[in-house]
Amino acid sequence: MGCDPGKKGAYAAIFEDHVEVWPWDDVFFVSFLHGLLATGDSIVACVEKVGAFSGQGVKSMFTFGREFGFIEGALQMAGISYQLVPPKKWKSEYGLGSDKTQSVEICKKLFPGINLRRTNKCTTDSADEAEALLMALYAKRHF
């Protein structure tokens, strides 16, 4: 699985026969992990290791840190093996830079037909969902 932490974060999982992507939701994430554990399958996760950005406000830093810690804590409590991977490292796997639209394009090529919209009302694909799925693929390839 892949986790893109943040206010508009997302997480994704690659199963044997399908892939799934979700916008971030604390309660659903814990429920999802519980469901994964019930399958008995081996699970590994890639969590994006990011830090503070220059000019980022105190409140947004606190919110981001809370989400990041929540992800780590939930994975640890569930006993799921995970790696913290800097964006530069996992993005180099796909030839990506900082342009998030490229993440959507690559994801659509690797997973044709995938829905990367946060909700049914959205008209554009979400780079957060795309990046979570690309991190899940990174985890599958490397862990």
pLDDT at 1: 96
pLDDT at 52: 58
Given a contact cutoff of 8 angstroms between Cβ atoms, the answer to whether 68 and 5 are in contact is yes
- Positions of the chain with pLDDT under 50: none
pLDDT at 95: 96
pLDDT at 136: 97
What are the phi and psi torsion angles at 131 (to 5°)?
-70, -35
What is the C-alpha to C-alpha distance for residues 142 and 139, in angstroms, rounded to an integer?
Answer: 5
pLDDT at 138: 97
pTM for the whole thing? 0.91
Given a contact cutoff of 8 angstroms between Cβ atoms, the answer to whether 73 and 20 are in contact is no
pLDDT at 45: 96
The helix or strand, by DSSP H or E, that contains position 47, with its residue range, turns out to be: strand 44-48
- CA separation (Å) from 104 to 4, 36, 114? 14, 26, 10
Given a contact cutoff of 8 angstroms between Cβ atoms, the answer to whether 127 and 101 are in contact is yes
